[in-house]
Structure 1
């Protein structure tokens, strides 16, 4: 059970606080909604286009079915999307609410109070804010809402939309109003609260702490009352506490802020505190009452939601980039096929047999290129879905490498010298021929492709009783250090490839194939000097490791 506690000060005729009333509200549904939204986003990952659509659909379902009100709006407060909980709590249909904007349903006084915070969010001065404001329902009744608002931005920092989350706290507000007229059980109520409550003098001396405060810091009341107690916290958080306490004044008697504390157990926790200063009739400071609560889980949930939103934006950009990349890669061979087919059709009688064969070869090469691109897309999709088959068999690794080498040499130009060296006995290696062929073939073709000026490609195989080390070294353009970290992720390419064609799928597939072999791959590269890929491959697997 998760609850939200609110504390109301009671004033005497001189406006001095002499008692505080607390109200507890069950917030279990809201916490569950936060957990569900976080879980939905944590499941988002780089995948094929169909899988991305499924994840987005799940996010939309969580958004629409959340028990708290949620909306997306533009900078003119016009709604872009609202969920069921939001329009139902206000008594509208979805279409009726979408025809309105945030200005039309917000109480004018509260709107003026919120505008400075909205302006700060839009200008990027703060990431988000929370505020209790009143809304006008369709039947003109007042609904109290606990509003959390934040701006969603793209990578350039431009605002995409405004996300608002509204919890209906009307019942709590009504209860607060009723409680203000009752003081009978003040002591029992305050001591039973889970919130941390304390009072302190100007020099920080504690004059009161409740049981929850003592339990949280694992202190006896006698260790705290009459003494100055400041929990351990990072230096920057000490500054936050000091700055907020010193800012209390007659004109600004209330402050709310968040900071971290370091418990004796070594655990770092987040807290939110609301300080209220009390002054006498001459404006002299009497005492400060502070109410705090642990918000560690809430901070984590907010961070997860923001991270998930950023991940969704990244996935959208990835999908757009993928479509553009694949379209470009298909366009080149399709253009070749179209051009050669037209030449054969129009000049069938005029072309010599050699030129006809040349055009046929171009078409065949373009078809092979398109087939390879489709195979790469399907392979990475199977790998991400866990459907890539792994079927190891005993074979001679040297013979496999030589076969791959001979096939590559057929189309190898004169600029490249491909040199193969093997050491040790590599027979009876238990490997998946199809997957390992893809690995070796990709590394060798990459070495050739990214060595446009030619040079020697050194292909070396070293075997011992348990492992084989495959090394491919080129004298090509090299890979910048900043690009090496993401080199084996889908659609990632080095920033210096220029016009050299490619999809960014090859090395991602290599990594997936090697993972199924429990193999490792490392890269050592220097721009303008060359690149060396080193694969360390176990040669033997237990039979129960055959798997998909």
Structure 2
């Protein structure tokens, strides 16, 4: 409770009860003043002089019922009241509450003890009622003021729903558009908007609904009921509901069909002008011909940071940025000379705290009797943020142009008809243009390329725009302005407007002429190298067979005639010959990769793995390892190459890691048109520094030099992988070991 004295009027016919109630209240409440009367007559006399903070009234009094002191409606009550009765019943309680009582209690020992809390509760409830009444009254007064302003406003005023339907219009609006109020309420904003301005209006309303803007001020054409067009300057603002969400729009429309109507507007009644002047959202001022401030509104004070009194002692140059003072003076000379009645310009203002703000200034002259301006009326809109955004956009555009002109790629963009809208310097040079702007408005047929090249480019443009999908890495020829026949790697993507419609394309290309020549040379070199490897391997393999055979014959037939050293030499000849033969076999396989036909039927990888495991059964058994095969997908690829992959990877795992105790796992999965295979072991693993080299021909690593193998198997796996659009790599197996992974592209899916 607050510290003010609580004046309580107790209306109680029983002196005994009154004394007991006094005792309870004075002991349970602080700072109370209790006045006791015994009947209705005394109570009415007391109430005629002043109302208490609270009245405690006995239901039955010597001269009538206590509820006769109540107004019969709680909303009409001037003071809070609690009704007490000796015996409680529902009818009495209902009668008391209908009469306007805040509470109803039955006298009892428990009630008397709780009476201070009942009083406090009643006072709190009364405080809420009083505050609500005040708020409702303030709301009524505010609505009445708004209604008066709305109805009397000189501008067309309207309240619109969020979808643009008119909910309320003022008489000025009706006169402006020629509709009755009832007719206007059947319309929406687009129906009274000129067709040429409907799209802009729809866009502005969308921006406000999306929360990007709360107030917009713009000019557009309207359609009157008779079909005639008028120009209006509209100010549209969001009206927020109690929940803080947009609930409607408030619009003000000024008829600007005749700019000279500003003179008549200046002669409007002082009251109307004062209302607009003082409540305008933009800064408004009146100035003497010498530039002295005569009047300023609150919005202008907030914009510039000065108080009204301070501004009335200043002149325009004193709050104008030094660099803008001469231009400002020149603008006012136009008004002073009569050559213009209204000027519009942008300038910088000096704020009281030293900050600099930008304003869009509109100044109109009010002519005097001698045809010289009597005073000026100025409207200043804060465009500081808009100017900052414009500067950022300009800087961003400059930076973008700098980047475009110095990146090595050629960049261009076209409209829906494949007409060039712009390009960077590299593209302009390739097209034979001195500057990028010289390309604007031209088509591919106007440039240096061949006719068939231009046809191809434009057909590609049409595909991209029609499908609304990019086309990337288009390899195409081009005859450039320099006479160079180039090869290009081109990318084209569709361009969209704010509505998501395709409005053109953006293209980039890179001159890959040298790269293509290098690739062709590399292909030819690889072809020659493969042929050389095949020939050498074949020619070397021919004499190896008799060498190995003769060594075996000598071992068998001359065993009794040769000493131990000679027999060891023959065994070494046979062993080294077989190693050389295995190496040549692997080289032949490596040379053949890339020359086999691609199949059209899918290969069951599960069957390929089973065959590979069967082929290596003796090796696996000798190593004493366990193999685990997980399900594998199908893949369109030559079975012989798949067999090579699994033979090499499983063989490596058995030879180098099979005796470490863990199982060798084989599996795979499909992801789109990619199939990923793996062979996992739990052996000693491969050092990080060797993982990138083990797929090189003849590289075997420091830890494997004494192990069997030729150093060609993993190189064969990598070559097969790359041939089919994939790769091979090795990772560490969690817990120790190596996991070899192979990624292959399904050639049928890729073709599709």
State if a TM-score over 0.5 links the two structures.
Answer: no
- TM-score by structure 1 length? 0.32
Higher relative contact order (CA 8 A, sep 6+): 1
TM-score between the two structures when normalised by the length of structure 2: 0.25
Query: Rg larger in 1 or in 2?
Result: 2
